[in-house]
C-alpha cells in the first residue's frame, strides 16, 4: 500500500497518523516510485512514476503489451499534459526501427495528485503487483491540429525534449489550440491538418488499402496505475469542550485510464498497427 506523510498538529499526538506511518512506511521524501502492474494481456510490467516538486512535474512511464514505450508528463506549472508513444516499427514491411507520436492537451486540476504529494509516496511492498482501485474507462480524443516543435515551448518547455524525434507527429485538439490562442500563444505554434479542410474520400486507415495514401489513424494507450486522489482520515474528537475531530492525509486512491487518439497521417504506412487497434 501507499501513504504520504501525515500532517502533525503541535502539542497533540495523532495516533491514527502514527499507525498509518507504521503500517505504510512513511519515511522521508522521494521523487521516484517503481510499481509493478498487470497489463490487459496478463503480463506484469514495471511502471516508473517520478515527481519533481521544484518544477511542479509528474512523469509516468511504462511499456505496454504491444511493446510500445509510453511516457506521460503532467506539467502543473503550464497546466499541460503530454503523451509520448514510442512504437516499434515493422521493418519487414518497410517501416523505420521505431516511430514516435506525441499528443498534447490541457491538464485538469483533478486528474491526479500534486507533484508535492507524489514526491512523498512510499510503498511498503515493492514486489507486489498493483491493480488500480478505480477504472476510469477510455477517453476518446480527436487530435485535429498539429503542433510546431519550434514553437511548442509556449505550451510547455518539456515538449521539445519529449517530442523532438516525433518528426512532426505532434498533435492537439482544436478546443485546446483555441484555448491557448485566446491566452496569447502565437498562432504559428499550430498548423491545420488536412482533415479540417474536408479532404474528399479521406478514410480511416484500416479501410485504406494503398499504403501511400493519407488516412485517419487511431492509437490507444493506457496509464495502468497512477495516484489520482488523496485519502483523508479523521481523528476522533477527545472528550473535551475545545477538542474537535480533525482530518489528515493518510494515503492515496489509485486509478487506471485509457486514451484513444484519432489523428491524420499522410501515409497509411505510418499507421500499420491500426489494423488491430480498432
The larger pLDDT score, comparing residue 7 to residue 206, is at: 206
User: What pLDDT sits at residue 6?
Assistant: 37
User: What pLDDT sits at residue 79?
Assistant: 96
Q: Taking Cα atoms as reference points, which of 180, 172, 191 lies closest to residue 105?
A: 172
245 CA to centre of own chain: 36
The larger pLDDT score, comparing residue 276 to residue 125, is at: 125
User: What pLDDT sits at residue 11?
Assistant: 33
Query: How many CB atoms neighbour CB 244 within 10 A?
Result: 9
The larger pLDDT score, comparing residue 142 to residue 9, is at: 142
Contact 43, 65 (CB under 8 A): yes
pLDDT tens digit sequence for 123-158: 788 899 999 999 999 999 999 999 999 999 999 999
What phi, psi does 11 have (nearest 5°)? 80, 5
What mean pLDDT do residues 263-268 have?
93
Q: How far apart are CA 194 and CA 197, in angstroms?
A: 5
Model confidence at 237, pLDDT cuts 50, 70, 90, reads low
pLDDT tens digit sequence for 198-231: 566 688 999 999 999 999 999 999 999 999 988 7
- pLDDT above 70 (res 2): no
Q: Taking Cα atoms as reference points, which of 182, 176, 107, 183 lies closest to residue 147?
A: 176
Supply 120's cell numbers.
Answer: 512523498
What mean pLDDT do residues 89-111 have?
89
Contact 49, 62 (CB under 8 A): no
Cα distance from N-terminal residue to C-terminal residue, the chain: 35
Q: Does the CA dihedral 75-58-270-207 come out positive or negative? A: negative
What mean pLDDT do residues 6-29 have?
32
Query: How many CB atoms neighbour CB 2 within 10 A?
Result: 20
Supply 82's cell numbers.
Answer: 503530454
In the chain, what are the domain boundaries? Answer: 2-275
Amino acid at each position: 500500500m501507499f501513504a504520504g506523510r501525515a500532517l502533525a498538529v503541535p502539542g497533540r499526538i495523532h495516533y491514527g497518523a502514527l499507525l498509518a506511518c507504521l503500517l505504510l512506511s512513511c519515511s522521508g521524501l522521494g521523487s521516484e516510485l517503481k510499481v509493478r502492474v498487470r497489463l490487459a494481456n496478463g503480463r506484469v510490467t514495471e511502471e516508473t512514476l517520478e515527481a519533481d516538486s521544484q518544477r511542479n512535474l509528474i512523469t509516468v512511464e511504462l511499456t505496454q503489451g504491444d511493446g510500445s514505450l509510453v511516457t506521460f508528463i503532467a506539467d502543473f506549472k503550464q497546466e499541460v499534459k503530454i503523451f509520448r508513444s514510442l512504437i516499434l516499427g515493422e521493418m519487414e514491411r518497410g517501416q523505420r526501427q521505431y516511430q514516435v507520436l506525441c499528443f498534447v492537451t490541457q491538464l485538469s486540476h483533478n486528474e491526479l495528485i500534486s507533484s508535492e504529494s507524489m514526491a512523498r509516496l512510499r510503498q511498503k511492498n515493492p514486489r507486489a503487483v498493483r491493480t488500480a482501485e478505480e477504472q476510469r474507462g477510455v477517453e476518446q480524443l480527436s487530435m485535429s491540429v498539429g503542433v510546431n516543435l519550434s514553437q511548442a515551448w509556449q505550451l510547455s518547455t518539456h515538449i521539445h525534449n519529449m517530442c523532438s524525434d516525433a518528426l512532426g507527429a505532434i498533435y492537439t485538439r482544436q478546443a485546446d489550440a483555441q484555448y491557448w490562442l485566446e491566452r496569447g500563444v502565437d498562432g504559428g505554434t499550430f498548423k491545420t491538418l488536412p482533415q479540417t479542410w474536408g479532404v474528399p474520400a479521406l478514410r480511416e486507415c484500416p479501410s485504406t488499402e494503398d499504403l501511400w495514401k493519407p488516412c485517419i489513424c487511431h492509437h490507444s494507450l493506457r496509464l495502468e496505475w497512477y495516484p489520482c486522489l488523496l485519502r483523508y482520515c479523521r481523528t476522533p474528537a477527545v472528550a473535551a469542550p475545545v477538542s474537535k475531530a480533525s482530518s489528515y492525509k493518510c494515503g492515496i486512491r489509485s486509478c487506471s485510464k485509457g486514451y484513444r487518439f484519432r489523428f491524420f497521417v499522410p501515409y497509411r504506412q505510418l499507421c500499420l498497427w491500426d489494423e488491430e487497434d480498432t
